[in-house]
């Protein structure tokens, strides 16, 4: 009987750990759907940095196109800073991303272009470019820590070597 209770506790702990890992992978990327990807072009009306909220933290832009206003979810401000990308009111941009709400007003950005330069935020499936880079939302391994040069998406180290994991 005692071993059954221990097994039940162990299973509950495993489920809790897996649930928290799935939640940590989430954020806006969890809602990304390549089938709802659009592009929008226009002027930045507002730049906001959201520091709390389940999965929606980071830099948001209000983008006014010719016929619509969008809430564009970019990603962590630290990632934009590391990428030497800034946004200001009046910037003319084009964004590619997934519309994640029925009204079409929210876009989770995959890439954004400003002044001929493109910042890639996510891959084609919505996997965040900052995952594993020690930026909030990644797995905390840092640049190549843990995988140590494997080039895989398991740690997000970004190197070009063969996977050792």
CATH number for the domain harbouring residue 65: 2.40.50.140
3-state percent breakdown (helix, strand, coil) of the chain, nearest 5: 25, 30, 45
So what's the pLDDT on residue 46?
97
Q: Domains in the chain: how many in total? A: 2
Does any domain span residue 20?
A: no
All residue ranges of the chain with pLDDT < 70 are: 1-30, 53-55, 132-165
Are 113 and 152 in a shared domain?
no
Are 109 and 143 in a shared domain?
no
Are 74 and 154 in a shared domain?
no
Range of the domain at 139: 131-165
So what's the pLDDT on residue 71?
95
């Amino acid at each position: 009987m005692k071993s059954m209770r221990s097994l039940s506790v162990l299973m509950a702990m495993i489920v809790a750990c897996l649930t928290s890992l799935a939640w940590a992978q989430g954020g806006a990327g969890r809602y990304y759907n390549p089938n709802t990807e659009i592009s929008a072009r226009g002027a930045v009306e507002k730049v906001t940095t959201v520091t709390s909220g389940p999965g929606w933290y980071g830099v948001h832009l209000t983008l006014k196109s010719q016929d619509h206003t969008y809430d564009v979810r970019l990603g962590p401000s630290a990632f934009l800073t590391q990428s030497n990308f800034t946004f200001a009111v009046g910037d003319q941009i084009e964004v590619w991303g997934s519309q994640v709400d029925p009204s079409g007003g929210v876009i989770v950005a995959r890439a954004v272009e400003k002044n001929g330069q493109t910042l890639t935020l996510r891959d084609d499936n919505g996997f965040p470019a900052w995952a594993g880079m020690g930026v909030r939302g990644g797995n905390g391994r840092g640049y190549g820590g843990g995988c140590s040069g494997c080039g895989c998406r398991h740690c997000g180290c970004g190197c070009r070597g063969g996977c050792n994991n």
